[in-house]
Amino acid sequence: FKDILADNHMSDQAHLFMMASGKLQALCYKYEIEKTLRTPDYAGFQLLALNDYSGQGTALVGVLDVFFEEKGYINSAEWRRFCSPTVPLMRTDKFVYNNNEILKADIEVAHFGAKTLKQAEIVYTLKDEYGKVYAQGTLATQDIPIGNLNHTGSLEFPLTDIQEAKKLNLEIRITGTEAVNDWNFWVYPAQVTIAEGKVYTTDTLDSKALEILQHGGNVLITAAGKVSYGKEVVQQFTPVFWNTSWFKMRPPHTTGILVNPKHPLFRQFPTEYHSNLQWWELLNHAQVMQFTHFPPAFQPTVQSIDTWFISRKIGMLFEANVLNGKVLMTSMDITS
């Protein structure tokens, strides 16, 4: 796998690919486990293992490596937030909001400890990624019996005070215990003023686009659904199951995305370097473009991470100097 990555001029990205795909893996484990803990009469869940499996074509499915050591993208304390004897849980309709909406969340606790938690105090904090607190308080003080579906209350947060795109974090904690969990939300202004420039928008590199580029202009190509080179790669938000070799290239074929969060493109779209839930509509089932035959130094702005059995250089957005002008091209649906 190391040689395949080197052949495609991406050896220097090996660690970043591991970290970005691992963050998505951990996210999927979190929401899958929480879903089972919220399910009435669910008997439990089983993970085949917490570590990678070197058989059956090599399955890099573990949050630990084959030596049961952490890989660096999630630690035991973070894992125990959603997988431990007592887990605060949340039900909500969505994770992406406009600032003219109200963030609503129902809070529950799945408790399978040794005994009932007597008069447990459930507290909440809503803050942004810089630590600014927007709301905090005590949700309830109540007994929590053994079992799941222990409803502790509902929260509502008007978002009108948030005037720019922000990532928020809701944390629920049971005072005096190790039980704590959290979830991210994204809030965007309902009304925005779009700065208009001299940019020609098209869904293909047509003659007008070439003429504009020849004269030093800027072109935006929105190629969602029109990609040919790379169309065989099936991308979903969730990553490869087990591996693509053992299951004969059953989709999906990708394991997340890698981006530079400090790129000006994301000034009004808060993001980490990896997939998160605000990317769902843009990423899920979006076509990728293949850049295998581009110059080795070429780097897509939004890079999809291919199955490690092929490691093609692929992505959903790139920018380039073309003729005398500039092109930004994306296979994401940014117009509907």
pLDDT digits (tens, 9 = 90+) for 43-90: 889 988 899 998 888 999 999 999 999 999 999 999 999 999 999 999
Same domain, 228 and 308: yes
Confidence of residue 230 (pLDDT cuts 50, 70, 90): very high
Same domain, 170 and 205: no
Q: Domain range holding 163? A: 86-188
Tokens standing for residue 220: 């935006």
pLDDT at residue 197 tops 90 = no
Same domain, 157 and 176: yes
Same domain, 157 and 264: no
Same domain, 95 and 207: no
* pLDDT given for residue 321 in this prediction: 96
* pLDDT given for residue 102 in this prediction: 98
* pLDDT given for residue 30 in this prediction: 98
* pLDDT given for residue 268 in this prediction: 95
End-to-end distance of the chain based on CA atoms, in angstroms? 38
Instruction: Give the mean pLDDT of 267-289.
Output: 97
Could you give the CA distance from residue 232 to residue 124 in angstroms, rounded to a whole number?
Answer: 45
In a domain, 194, yes or no: no
Mean pLDDT of the chain: 96
* pLDDT given for residue 121 in this prediction: 99
pTM here is 0.95
In a domain, 335, yes or no: no
* pLDDT given for residue 232 in this prediction: 95
| Full 3-state SS string of the chain | CHHHHHHCCCHHHHHHHHHHHHHHHHHHHHHHHHHHHCCCCCCCCCCCCCECECCCCCECCCCECCCCCECCCCCHHHHHCCCCCEEEEEECCCCEEECCCEEEEEEEEEECCCCCEEEEEEEEEEEECCCCEEEEEEEEEEEECCEEEEEEEEEEEECCCCCCCEEEEEEEEECCCCCEEEEEEEEECCCCCCCCCCEEEECCCCHHHHHHHHCCCEEEEECCCCCCCCCCCCCCCCCCCCCCCCCCCCCCCEEEEEECCCCHHHCCCCCCCCCCHHHHHHHCCCCCEECCCCCCCCCCCEEEEECCCCCCCEEEEEEEEECCEEEEEECCCCCC
* pLDDT given for residue 166 in this prediction: 98
Same domain, 116 and 19: no
Q: Identify the weakest region by mean pLDDT among 41-50, 141-150, 170-179.
A: 41-50
* pLDDT given for residue 57 in this prediction: 87
Q: What percent of the chain has pLDDT over 70?
A: 100
Same domain, 182 and 240: no
Domain stops at, among 54, 80, 106 = 80
pLDDT at residue 246 tops 90 = no
* pLDDT given for residue 255 in this prediction: 97
